[in-house]
Every structure is written in C-alpha cells, then in structure tokens.
A and B are shown apart, each in its own frame.
Chain A
Amino acid sequence: MITGPFSLSGKVVFITGASSGIGRSIAVECSKLGAQLIITGRNAERLEETMSMLTGNGHISHVLDLNDADAILGFINNIPGLDGIVYCAGIQKTSPTRYIKRADIDEVFETNFFSNVSLNGLMAEKKKLNKGASIVFISSTAAGIVAENGNAMYSASKGAITSFAKVLALELSPKKVRVNCVLPAMIRTPLLENISVDEEQLAQDEKRYPFGYGAPEDVAYAVIYLLSDAAKWVTGTNLLLDGGLTLR
C-alpha cells in the first residue's frame, strides 16, 4: 500500500494508447504507485508487453480500436467506475502545409481529437466518472506554443484537444472532476520513427533543449501528479514539459 498525497492506491485509472511510448510508461509508473489499471491499445502483442511490465494485480487490458464505435460501447459497458482517465492515443503525420490533403487531416484528427472526444462523451453518458475523478489529456507543445516545419496537422489536432479540455474542465467542475493537459515537447518514443527526420537531425534539434529531449517517464510523473490527490485543487491547467525549450 503506497501512502501519501501522490499515491494512486485505490484508484482505478483508464489509459488509452498504452501499447507503446508515453502511454506504456504512464501505465507502468501508475502501477508502481498503486493504481488499478485498465489499459487499451491497438496492438495486442505490445499491449500484453505493457501488461507484463505492470506492478501489482487486478489490471485489465483490452485491445481497442478507438475508431470503432461499437467496440468502444461494448467495452465501456463492462468497466467499473473510473477515478482517472489518461487520453494518450495519438499519431503523428508530417507534411508541409502545401501538401496537406484532406484525407491526412482526417486521419490525424480522427485519432488525436475525434476518438478521444467521442470516448470521453461516452464515459460521461455511461456515468463512468467517479466523484473526484481526474482526466488528463496528453497534448503537446505543438498546441500553439512551438511551431515546427511540417507539423501543422499534429499541432492543430493537439490545439483542438487542449481547447476542448478547458471547456470540459468547466463543465465537470460541479462534479469535482478535474481535467488537465500535459504539454510535452520532444520525447524519445517509437512515434519518432514515423516522422521524416533522422538521427542526425534529431541530434541537432536536441541541442535547442537545455535539458535535452525528455523520456517517457518524465511525462508519466507529471500525469501521476495530476491523477493524484496532490493535485486536488488543479483543474483546467496546461502543464508545460519542455526541458527548457521555450525559456527563450
């Protein structure tokens, strides 16, 4: 039993996108602090890998495509009330603005914005949010803080979810449900392999960060704070995690 204000003991926490990168790290670190987890992801094998890394018992994993409405409904009907939700599922797609096609925007927004928003709506509709619950969205410094060439679609989707979270925070405040975003800058995750950059460019880019690029657990620790009772007075905030990138 972990005690203290940062403990997650006795809390049921639901995490999307837990099969890799930041989502996986959040799941692992939350389990160390005593949370009972419900984790979802698209890839069964990698999701099981995450499961095997968790501390404690009673965790549930469920392969879920967040773009499949029927599957989501069936899943939600079978889960207990939640004390925490971490919306972590996200994709990255790089394109200079002049080459952006509608299909690409749709793909990015479907995963990074629409699926999270729909899922969240169902959680409320099915009354899965316990009193005092905490919702955390993994946004990004791309959400209107730092511009990078080719990152417009991702930026726009993260900006959308960050703005959404603000209104959600207001609407859920009567229920004492808190809603916050964390805004990481560059974190070393497998997502990086999908963008059109290479190690040489990354090494050059990393020099702009006084503390270098972040690690997945740097995001996880911030999420733990927001999920825990230590943050019981914190709602509607955007927690910047950038290793000093935006200091100047």
Chain B
Amino acid sequence: MELQEFVKKFAEQFDDTDPDEITATTSYKNLEEWSSLTALVIISFVKTEYGKAVTGAELRSQDTVEDLYNFIESK
C-alpha cells in the first residue's frame, strides 16, 4: 500500500468533502464531514481494503491521514 493511494481512497470515503481538500497532512478529525458515522465508514474501509482492524479509539488517537497510514502499516 502506497501513501498516495491510501490518501486517494481515504478521500473517496467522504461524500461532501472535495477530494482535493484531503491530503497526507490533513487532520482528518477537523474535517467538517467528520462524525461517528464517517469514523465507522473509515473503520470498514480499512478492514475491507487492507484487512486490518482499527478501533474508534485508535482512529481518534491519530492526527493526519499520513499518521493513520503509518499506524495501519505498523499493525
């Protein structure tokens, strides 16, 4: 999994956020569309695409999209 590919797919999980607005350095929890439901969607996305289980708490513990990428890679 490449970082750029992850960022692109991560951005695709959002419906009302312009994909260009999401980059590796985006603090995803500050996105206007971020909610408990989008968190659930990201958990499912990571599970489906990468076969890795992340929890809500782990998702909250990371800051940028790249941080999340690194965290998932390390699992």
Known: A99-B44, A149-B40. 19 other contacts (CB 8 A): A95-B40, A96-B37, A96-B40, A96-B41, A96-B44, A98-B41, A98-B44, A99-B41, A149-B36, A150-B37, A196-B40, A196-B55, A196-B56, A197-B56, A198-B55, A198-B56, A198-B57, A200-B57, A201-B36
B48 contacts A149, C-beta separation under 8 Å = no
CB of A9 within 8 A of chain B? no
Per-position contact with A for B32-58: 1 when CB-CB < 8 Å, else 0? Answer: 000011001101110110000001110
CB of A111 within 8 A of chain B? no
Taking residues whose C-beta sits less than 8 angstroms from the other chain, chain B's interface range is 10 to 19
CB of A94 within 8 A of chain B? yes
Closest to B38 in A: A96
Number of interface residues of A (CB under 8 A): 12
Give every chain B residue within 8 A of A198 (Cβ-Cβ): 55-57
CB distance from A146 to the nearest CB of B (A): 15
Question: Which residues on B are within 8 Å of A, measured CB to CB?
Answer: 36-37, 40-41, 43-45, 47-48, 55-57
Q: Which of A95, A197, A200 contacts B44 (CB 8 A)?
A: A95
Closest to A205 in B: B36
A196 contacts B43, C-beta separation under 8 Å = yes
A99 contacts B56, C-beta separation under 8 Å = no
CB distance from A92 to the nearest CB of B (A): 14
| Cα(A201)–Cα(B35), bound, Å | 12
